[in-house]
Amino acid sequence: MANRFVAVVVAALWIASARAAGATSADPSPAPTPVNLPTLPPSAQVNPYVKSAIDILTGVVERQILNSANSANGQVTYFKRFDMQVQTGPNSYRAIHLHQGTVINPRGATIGLGQRVSVGGVAQTDGSLEATVITLLQ
């Protein structure tokens, strides 16, 4: 049994080495050519007003991204006790986790399938949202 195993391993290694030796070709592949990206010349001066406007707009966009990460608006597609799923767009869903103390507005309302909701909370690393406030929309 051991002799057969050794023979199979030796045959496999011999075939692999023969293929590797035959795989080398006389024509090496051409070296990739670098891509020249456009850049500003070192002497270019950026207008300070333009730079401050760009910085302000960058800050606005970053705040919007942070706000959208901590909220979700859409239609409830799944709800069971402390787990909920909201369809936020076509073929886009977000998992929502509720906990004891999650505020549901209007008070006393019950969440059901198909209802439109606005959820605020804390984004989790897996993309889900730990809900602190859920508002049922009309």
Strands 103-105, 83-89: pairing is: unpaired
Question: Does residue 42 carry a pLDDT above 80?
Answer: no
- Please give the biggest Cα pair distance in the chain: 82
When the candidates are 3.30.56.10, 3.30.465.10, 3.10.450.40, 2.40.50.140, the CATH number that belongs to 72-136 is: 2.40.50.140
How high is the pLDDT of residue 95? 95
Q: Residue 126: pLDDT above 60?
A: yes
How many Å apart are CA 65 and CA 4, to the nearest integer? 63
Cite the DSSP H helix spans in the chain: 2-23, 48-69
Cα separation, 77 vs 87, whole angstroms: 6
Higher-pLDDT residue of 46 and 83 is 83
Find out whether 103 and 134 touch, Cβ atoms under 8 Å: yes
- For the stretch 68-116, pLDDT in tens is 788 899 999 999 989 999 999 899 999 999 999 999 999 888 999 999 9
Q: At 136, which helix (H) or strand (E)? A: strand 129-136
What per-residue confidence (pLDDT) applies to 138?
Answer: 74
Residue ranges of the domains in the chain?
72-136
